Amino acid sequence: MLKAQGIQELNGGRGRSASIGLTTSLDFDASDISGRATQAAEQDLAAATSLQLAVERRLQNQLRTYVQQVQSLATTEAAQDKQLDQAEVVRKSYEQQFVGGKRQLVDVLSSARDFYDAQIDKIDTYNMRIQTEYQAAQSVGMLGSLIIATTNR
């Protein structure tokens, strides 16, 4: 509590002296101070807990997205394996038919190009899957473990 008082001479205000009094008081109740400190600490704990939960949710969502991407890319790779096998069968068939005189050279070259494109697509998808796995490992702090596991393969 803070109080201030001003007193001036009562002689009509012509005097040269005046006085000001200042009074302060502070309640040193220990339970009130420790109660406030406890309350502040509880609020800090609640804020830190909330922040931790938000970070955990963000990491879980990010990891879930990475897992879905890796699964999708693995499914695409499997489909591309089948496409690659089919493109190779077509290429070999066209080569045999060319030798037998039933296909033109442009057909053989087109089938070879389709086979080559299928190989490139499969390699690209594989690279994207591996990069996604590494990004996922990095986001959760396990990149070192992934690198060690892949070098032991």
Q: pLDDT band for 21, please (50, 70, 90 cuts).
A: low
Q: Tens of pLDDT along 61-87?
A: 888 899 999 999 999 999 999 999 999
The whole-angstrom separation of Cα 56 and Cα 67 is 16
**105 vs 33, higher pLDDT:** 105
Taking the model in full, what pTM does it have?
Answer: 0.62
CA dist 71 and 75 (Å) reads 6
CA distances from 3 to 7, 8, 19, 69 (A): 13, 17, 14, 69
| Alpha carbons 104 and 51: distance in angstroms, whole number | 68
Q: Running DSSP on this structure, what letter comes out for residue 142?
A: -
